[in-house]
Amino acid sequence: MMERPGPVEDQLGRLAELLTRWIRRVPTEGDLSLPAASTLVRLTLDGPHRLTDLATAERVSQPGMTQLVTRLESDGLVRRSAGSGDRRVVLVEVTEAGAALIERRRGHRAAQLRGLLDTLAPQERQAVEAALPALLRLAEAGVSALPTTPTATPTATAADSSSRSSS
């Protein structure tokens, strides 16, 4: 017996859970932890960040982010520099190698998604394509609405998170 679809928000929640599981399991280049991949993507999209701001945005402790940035720096994926105006401020920015890695990972994931889309009936694929602009706006609005500081949930360290599956 086929399960009856629930309210739209329930279906979107289930979709988010399944996509998260899929993203965590799809092998991609670089063997990055989720916090490392998320940090690189943030730096690629948003430009240099102060280390403390990165830790807050990624919801990890500052010592955890320091460890993560040290690993990424030793891999040549980010670099640290002194902030303009205040030499005590440390800025973290993605290197060309880090940005290229993120782009290759996106391309690999897109190729795998193309394979999945090819399994859909033409009408289903058209429905997915038609829904994408609204879903992207919804996801962007959701990300924009997220608090920039941790709330009631406990703060994880990057070291704790790196033991999870890679993105």
Higher pLDDT, 165 or 60: 60
Asked if residue 78 is part of any domain, the answer here is yes
Whether the CA torsion 98, 104, 107, 111 is positive or negative: it is negative
Domain span at residue 63 reads: 27-108
d(CA 68, CA 60): 10
For residue range 87-136, list pLDDT tens digits in order.
778 899 999 999 999 999 999 999 999 999 999 999 999 999 999 999 99
Cβ–Cβ < 8 Å for 92, 54: yes
Name the pLDDT band for 3 (thresholds 50, 70, 90): low
Query: What would the mean pLDDT of 64-69 be, rounded to a whole number?
Result: 95
This prediction has a pTM of 0.74
Tell me how many domains the chain contains.
1
State the CATH number of the domain containing residue 71.
Answer: 1.10.10.10
Query: What would the mean pLDDT of 65-86 be, rounded to a whole number?
Result: 91
Asked if residue 74 is part of any domain, the answer here is yes
Task: Enumerate residues 6+ apart whose C-beta is below 8 A from 17.
Answer: none
**Cα 106 versus chain centre, distance:** 11
The SS3 of residue 81 is strand
> What's the pLDDT score for residue 67?
96
Q: In whole angstroms, how far apart are CA 68 and each of 20, 132, 165?
A: 22, 33, 16
DSSP state of 156: B
Q: Is residue 155 classed exposed, middle or buried when 0-12, 13-18 and 19+ CB atoms within 10 A define those classes? A: middle
Query: What would the mean pLDDT of 133-155 be, rounded to a whole number?
Result: 74
